[in-house]
Amino acid sequence: MLSGSAMARVAVLLVTAGLLAGLVQYFWPPAAREPAPQAAGQTVPRAPKPEQTREPVRTVPTAQPPAPTELRPAPETQPAPPLAETPPPPVLAPPPSPPPPDPSVPDPAERAQDEAGPRAVALVDLNTATVAELNGLRGGGNIGRAIIQRRPYAAVDQLLSKRVLSRATYERIKDQVTVQ
């Protein structure tokens, strides 16, 4: 059974809901209350509008016609002074493009790379590398913690046999790691 305070709460909720419903009906635009047609070409029957209950206003004819109102000409206004024509903005020419590089002169950055020879790949030892070094491997992603948790390794292929990495990730990093 409901206590007195619970019944009071229910009563307050019902009264509040009724007031809100009344406010919505009063302030909601009438066009929004009408339901939209269900399907294309199908119309929804609408309730007929109630006829006006007030009587139409009747006018009593007067014996005299109303006096014509005097038409006055509009006050003359001075035309606005013509605006001074401003010249169109000058067309700016695009800046000259730099001359194309001479193919006979190599770029200094390319020349430095050519003289350095093949870039040596620094191998990372699986048993001694830090998490940051392992995560820095190209194509590996964040694999450092998983590799460190299953140490020690006797060979690189134990990354697959211990199920540390997927085959695709292993294929991407196998040339960058070693075990000593």
Structure confidence by residue, pLDDT tens digits, 11-22: 999 999 999 988
Report helix, strand or coil for 149.
Answer: helix
Structure confidence by residue, pLDDT tens digits, 38-64: 555 555 555 555 555 555 666 655 556
Contacts of 147 (CB under 8 A, 6+ apart): 126, 129, 134, 159, 164, 165
- Residue 178: pLDDT over 70: yes
Distances (CA, A) of 99 to 40, 81, 94: 65, 52, 15
At residue 125, φ and ψ (nearest 5 deg) are: -80, 125
Print the SS3 string covering 24-72.
HHHHCCHHHHCCCCCCCCCCCCCCCCCCCCCCCCCCCCCCCCCCCCCCC
Which one of 1.10.150.320, 3.10.440.10, 1.20.1070.10, 1.10.260.40 gives the CATH number of domain 124-178? 1.10.150.320
Q: What's the DSSP call for residue 126?
A: T
Specify the length of the chain in residues: 180
E strands present in the chain: 124-125, 177-178
pLDDT at 169: 92
Task: Map out the domains of the chain as residue ranges.
Answer: 124-178
More confident of the two residues 52 and 128: 128
Looking at the chain, the whole-number percentage of residues with pLDDT higher than 90 is 31
- Residue 162: pLDDT over 50: yes
Place of tokens 């040596």: 120
Q: Taking residues 72-80, report their average pLDDT.
A: 64
Cis peptide before 152 (omega within 30 of 0): yes
Predicted model pTM:
0.34
